[in-house]
């Protein structure tokens, strides 16, 4: 009997531990937002975070979108050919990119690049007593470290997603025109005609939520880093894993909400 139950018990413990983490991250997020509403706001830190999170992520997000758009065009052409629907390539590439792949892949790439670096930086600050030093210098670590990164990520990731959407559609266009013999003008017209404003906006909203998740996970695991280099390593890994899983979960939930609307 116990041989049957013990894996279940282990599973139960894991689920409980994950739920406890999600709860702690949620409380951390609420605290961060409450600090945003109370001065001071550190503009200089915010500017740095914008550059780190937004500007320097552009190449990664751009490349991801370009290749994904191209591959998407090939796949849809191939799949569409089975029921004579090759003509749908431009619009499906556009809709798929803008509503789903742009925000999700962009969010995941930002999670890999930004959640890890935030967690490692703040974790190192924790283990070298820099966070304690901040406190003794009358500066709240939440306001100085978390809030600027949270705001910067929430604002920057939608912009990244927007740029990624365009680049992804362009990738589809390149493949469509050069490999699949679409007429350039017809491809563009087809893209624009079937794309609705809400498609784009819903993707950008997803981007904002994902940016928020990335910054909160990076800061949370950094602030709660264990001692020593090993502690920082663990915090970094946990931040990327948590941010990625939460992005995928949030994506599903947001899609349900948008679907119902």
Partner 1 sequence: MITLTDVHKSFGNNHVLRGVTLHVPKGQSMVIIGGSGTGKSVTIKSVLGLVEPDKGQIEVDGRDVHQGDRDAFLARFGMLFQGGALFDSLPVWQNVAFRLLRGALKRPRPEAREIAIEKLRRVGLKPETADLFPAELSGGMQKRVGLARAIAAEPEIIFFDEPTTGLDPIMSGVINELIREIVTEMGATTMTITHDMTSVRTIADRVAMLHDGVIQWEGPIGEMDAADDPYLQQFIHGRAEGPIEAVR
Q: Which residues bind partner 1 (CB under 8 A)?
A: 40, 42, 121, 125, 128-130, 132-139
- Give the contacts of 233 (CB within 8 A, at least 6 positions apart): none
Give the C-alpha separation, 191 to 15, whole Å.
44
CB contact at 8 A, 40 and 143: yes
> Which of residues 127 and 254 has its CB atom nearest to partner 1 in the complex?
127
> Which of residues 130 and 255 has its CB atom nearest to partner 1 in the complex?
130
> Which of residues 168 and 218 has its CB atom nearest to partner 1 in the complex?
218
- Give the contacts of 194 (CB within 8 A, at least 6 positions apart): 90, 91, 94, 95
CB contact at 8 A, 73 and 89: yes
Reading the block at residue 1, the tokens are 């009997």
- Residue 133 Cβ, how far from partner 1 at the closest point, in Å? 4
> Which of residues 142 and 242 has its CB atom nearest to partner 1 in the complex?
142
- Residue 46 Cβ, how far from partner 1 at the closest point, in Å? 13
Reading the block at residue 185, the tokens are 């003008």
- Residue 128 Cβ, how far from partner 1 at the closest point, in Å? 6
Dihedral of CA 117/118/119/124: which sign?
positive
- Residue 129 Cβ, how far from partner 1 at the closest point, in Å? 4
- Residue 260 Cβ, how far from partner 1 at the closest point, in Å? 44
> Which of residues 54 and 171 has its CB atom nearest to partner 1 in the complex?
54
- Residue 44 Cβ, how far from partner 1 at the closest point, in Å? 9
- Residue 84 Cβ, how far from partner 1 at the closest point, in Å? 58
> Which of residues 145 and 247 has its CB atom nearest to partner 1 in the complex?
145
Residue 149: burial class (beta carbons within 10 Å; 0-12, 13-18, 19+): buried
Residue 106: burial class (beta carbons within 10 Å; 0-12, 13-18, 19+): buried
> Which of residues 12 and 40 has its CB atom nearest to partner 1 in the complex?
40
Give the C-alpha separation, 101 to 172, whole Å.
13
What DSSP designation does 38 have? S
> Which of residues 146 and 244 has its CB atom nearest to partner 1 in the complex?
146
139: left (phi over 0), alpha (psi -120 to 50) or beta: beta
- Residue 144 Cβ, how far from partner 1 at the closest point, in Å? 9
């Amino acid at each position: 009997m116990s041989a049957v139950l013990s894996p279940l018990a282990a599973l139960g413990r894991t689920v409980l531990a994950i739920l406890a983490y999600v709860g702690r991250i949620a409380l951390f997020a609420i605290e961060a937002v409450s600090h945003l509403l109370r001065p001071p706001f550190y503009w200089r830190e915010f500017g740095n975070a914008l550059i780190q999170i937004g500007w320097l992520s552009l190449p990664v997000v751009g490349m991801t979108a370009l290749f994904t758009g191209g591959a998407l065009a090939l796949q849809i052409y191939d799949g569409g050919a089975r029921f004579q629907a090759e003509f749908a390539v431009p619009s499906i590439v556009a809709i798929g990119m803008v509503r789903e792949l742009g925000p999700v892949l962009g969010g995941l790439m930002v999670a890999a690049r930004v959640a890890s670096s935030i967690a490692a930086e703040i974790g190192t600050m924790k283990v070298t007593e820099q966070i304690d030093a901040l406190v003794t210098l009358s500066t709240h670590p939440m306001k100085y470290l978390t809030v600027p990164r949270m705001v910067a990520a929430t604002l920057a990731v939608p912009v990244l997603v927007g740029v990624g959407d365009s680049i992804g559609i362009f990738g589809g266009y390149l493949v469509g025109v050069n490999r699949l013999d679409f007429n350039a003008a017809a491809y563009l017209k087809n893209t624009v005609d079937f794309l609705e404003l809400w498609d784009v906006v819903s993707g950008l909203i997803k981007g904002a939520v994902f940016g928020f998740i990335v910054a909160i996970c990076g800061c949370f695991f950094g602030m709660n880093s264990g001692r020593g280099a090993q502690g920082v390593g663990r915090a970094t890994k946990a931040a990327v894993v948590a941010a990625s899983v939460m992005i995928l979960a949030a994506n599903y939930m947001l899609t349900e909400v948008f679907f119902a609307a």
